[in-house]
Amino acid sequence: MESRLRHIAGRGYKSYQAIQGDYDFGTFRLFIDHVQSDPFAPPSRLRARVAQSRARFPASLYANRIRTIALADLITRGFANSIRRYVKGSRGTGRSGVVLVDVGGQEILERTSCLVNEEFVEIRFSVGLPAAGRRCLGREALAIFFDEIPHLVEASLLYASYDPGVVAGHVYTAEDQKALRHQLAEHRLVAFIANDSVLPRASGVSDRPLRGRDVVAFTSPPELEVEFSAPNRDRVRGMGIPEGVTIIVGGGYHGKSTLLVAVERGVYNHVPGDGREYVVSRPDTVKIRAEDGRRIEKVNISPFISNLPFGQDTRAFHTDNASGSTSQAANIVEALEYGTSLLLMDEDTCATNFMIRDGRMQQLVPKEREPITPFLDQVRHLYSEHGVSTIIVMGGCSDYFDVADTIIAMDHYLPQVVTSQARHIARQQPALRMDESGGGFGDIGLRIPLPQSINPLRGSKVKAAAKGLHSIQFGYQVIDLGCVEQLVDTSQTRAIGDMLVYALRRGYIDAKTSLRQILERLFQDISDKGLDVISPFYGQHPGDYALPRPQEVAAALNRLRSLEVVRGGEHGRA
């Protein structure tokens, strides 16, 4: 390699193509999988692999899937820290000299940045090959390959480069979070927030914990306090939110939304020190909000909306421009279609006419002239018929007192249970409204996506590229994920685009298979073969992906404006 680099020094940038290949550096192997075409193009993709005989990570640290994910996450963070320490950075034109690795934020997600198994540890990263103008800078390249990269490898791919306590903490905290999350259902809880958790974030643009004297650590009210055991730590106590309907009330600015967001993010594992390490919710929790303007493709929103003007069918409701209430109804029904056991709503982002309709309004506008059955009248049926619990932040309307199992008041950031006081008030001052739900919730049926309506081609090329966290360029279309609040990492967005392409290529979307089954097959492949499987560059540097949940993949497909489906059997709840 050294001689090749010396040979191409000073030549045109295209000469770098000659260094593509596989090199033995003695203590590690370097794969140069893809060489950029010019200094401004996305940096070249490389992998560095160290055999376990040298890396020596104890096998217990990657003995199961969650430990492996957490260990790979830690190594990726270690590599990123080493880049800050050892890489000079700019070494010429364009992106010359940059070294990048796809490191996550506060969550520990399965990602393709690092692979750990009993044979080796492999980091996947990118390097901007150095140039002056369009000439190869040989000496700078030599420094990157023979000085910087070996330093990075030594400082982050060997067990000996870490404090063993930090590694164990990272791996076992993640395992404990997962274990807690999976104990929720057997305890008939939907969420758990450990005492002493720190829920508020540093700012509206930072997901790091708020620090300082003003932080109020979380403390469970005695009525809801539960104790859990986790595999790697002492018992942990905190607030368990029971199944059923839970309302969070309290004055403005007393921490209601902060609590709800923590529960919403409780589907993910968090790094030690985040403050939400032991805040967990059901893995299939879905945050619901209004999303006017979105497209809806043949969704059965009839539990909430019927008798629309011009007799539009709301059992297979279609629109290119949903209203606040129809979008919120569709978001709920789509969540049920994939499968969920917990819905979260915050009045700040809900459509008012979807949530409530009080007694006086019922008198003025009779049911026959109002298409909407408010969520208030379906929330109990959702639980009794479908086993779906709901947590709603609702500071402004007392009608929900009548349907709630648990009412929590946030007061100066601390929760109190006020269920009996609220019930007492509701008895003294009845709401005087009628239940409008009629026949209950009912089954929502299945939808079967049609492959010809999902086209990733842009001209003759496949295009499925994330544009930031909340948007995917898919063929000629843009999928808008701005209201999909549980998407947390751009690499998840990137993965979703390629997962859709993968499902098409594998023939999983075949006009016979329901959306839910398509996602099950897709996620089965990923769990069998690893997240690399969705990459068009399988076997090389796969690209930078992090695993999204099926809920977010479904959300993306449901927002593809060209999507067409046929409705399957109306009976199954599959």
Residues that bind ligand ADP (CB under 6 A): 199-200, 210, 214-216, 250, 252-258, 410, 413
- DSSP conformation class of 50: E
Which does residue 313 touch among Mg ion, ligand ADP, none (CB within 5 to 8 A, set by kind)? none
DSSP string computed for 111-123 = BTTEEE-SSEEEE
Which does residue 215 touch among ligand ADP, Mg ion, none (CB within 5 to 8 A, set by kind)? ligand ADP
CA dist., res. 63 & res. 232, Å (int): 14
429: left (phi over 0), alpha (psi -120 to 50) or beta: beta
Residue 339 CB, shortest distance to ligand ADP, in Å, is 29
Residue 270 CB, shortest distance to ligand ADP, in Å, is 16
Amino acid identity at 128? G
Which does residue 287 touch among ligand ADP, Mg ion, none (CB within 5 to 8 A, set by kind)? none
- DSSP conformation class of 22: E
CA angle, corner 278, sides to 277 and 283, nearest 5? Answer: 100
Which does residue 216 touch among Mg ion, ligand ADP, none (CB within 5 to 8 A, set by kind)? ligand ADP
Residue 332 CB, shortest distance to ligand ADP, in Å, is 22
Which does residue 413 touch among ligand ADP, Mg ion, none (CB within 5 to 8 A, set by kind)? ligand ADP
> Closer to ligand ADP at the Cβ: 212 or 366?
212
E strands, 356-494, where?
Answer: 389-393, 406-411, 414-417, 447-449, 457-458, 461-462, 464-466, 471-474, 477-480
Residue 85 CB, shortest distance to ligand ADP, in Å, is 32
Residue 328 CB, shortest distance to ligand ADP, in Å, is 19
Residue 304 CB, shortest distance to ligand ADP, in Å, is 25
Residue 480 CB, shortest distance to ligand ADP, in Å, is 25
Stretch that binds Mg ion, among 220-228, 290-298, 308-316, 344-352 (CB under 5 A): 344-352
> Closer to Mg ion at the Cβ: 22 or 348?
348
> Closer to ligand ADP at the Cβ: 102 or 277?
277
Spell 297-327 as b/e; 16+ CB within 10 A means b.
bbbbbbbbbbeeeeeeebbbbebeebbbbbb
Tokens of 413: 């950031």
> Closer to ligand ADP at the Cβ: 163 or 214?
214
Residue 345 CB, shortest distance to ligand ADP, in Å, is 13
User: Which distant-in-sequence residues (6+ apart) come within 8 Å of 513 by Cβ?
Assistant: 448, 521
- DSSP conformation class of 147: I
Which does residue 252 touch among Mg ion, ligand ADP, none (CB within 5 to 8 A, set by kind)? ligand ADP
Which does residue 147 touch among ligand ADP, Mg ion, none (CB within 5 to 8 A, set by kind)? none
How many other β-carbons are positioned within 10 Å of the β-carbon of residue 270? Answer: 24
What is the C-alpha radius of gyration for the chain, rounded to an integer number of angstroms?
26
Which does residue 415 touch among ligand ADP, Mg ion, none (CB within 5 to 8 A, set by kind)? none
Which does residue 199 touch among ligand ADP, Mg ion, none (CB within 5 to 8 A, set by kind)? ligand ADP
CA angle, corner 442, sides to 438 and 443, nearest 5? Answer: 165
Site for Mg ion in 42-81 (CB under 5 A): none
Instruction: Say if residues 177 and 276 touch (Cβ distance below 8 Å).
Output: no
Residue 281 CB, shortest distance to ligand ADP, in Å, is 17
Helix, strand or coil, per DSSP, at residue 203 = strand
Stretch that binds Mg ion, among 159-167, 346-354, 408-416, 430-438 (CB under 5 A): 346-354
> Closer to Mg ion at the Cβ: 394 or 462?
394
Report if residue 328 touches Mg ion, rule: CB under 5 A.
no
Sequence-separated contacts (24+) of 453-459 with Cβ below 8 Å: 453/560, 453/562, 453/563, 453/564, 454/500, 454/504, 454/509, 454/557, 454/560, 454/562, 454/563, 455/562, 456/497, 456/500, 456/501, 456/504
H or E stretch covering 446:
none
Stretch that binds Mg ion, among 158-166, 323-331, 342-350, 406-414 (CB under 5 A): 342-350
Which does residue 255 touch among Mg ion, ligand ADP, none (CB within 5 to 8 A, set by kind)? ligand ADP
Residue 287 CB, shortest distance to ligand ADP, in Å, is 14
Site for Mg ion in 242-271 (CB under 5 A): 257
> Closer to Mg ion at the Cβ: 196 or 348?
348
How big is the site for Mg ion, counted in residues (CB under 5 A)?
Answer: 2
Which does residue 435 touch among ligand ADP, Mg ion, none (CB within 5 to 8 A, set by kind)? none
Which does residue 165 touch among ligand ADP, Mg ion, none (CB within 5 to 8 A, set by kind)? none
> Closer to Mg ion at the Cβ: 395 or 475?
395
Where would I find the H helices in 203-300?
256-265
> Closer to ligand ADP at the Cβ: 251 or 572?
251
Amino acid identity at 409? A
Residue 151 CB, shortest distance to ligand ADP, in Å, is 40
Where would I find the H helices in 216-365?
256-265, 324-338, 352-355, 359-364
Residue 394 CB, shortest distance to Mg ion, in Å, is 10
Amino acid identity at 196? D
- DSSP conformation class of 243: S
Residues that bind Mg ion (CB under 5 A): 257, 348
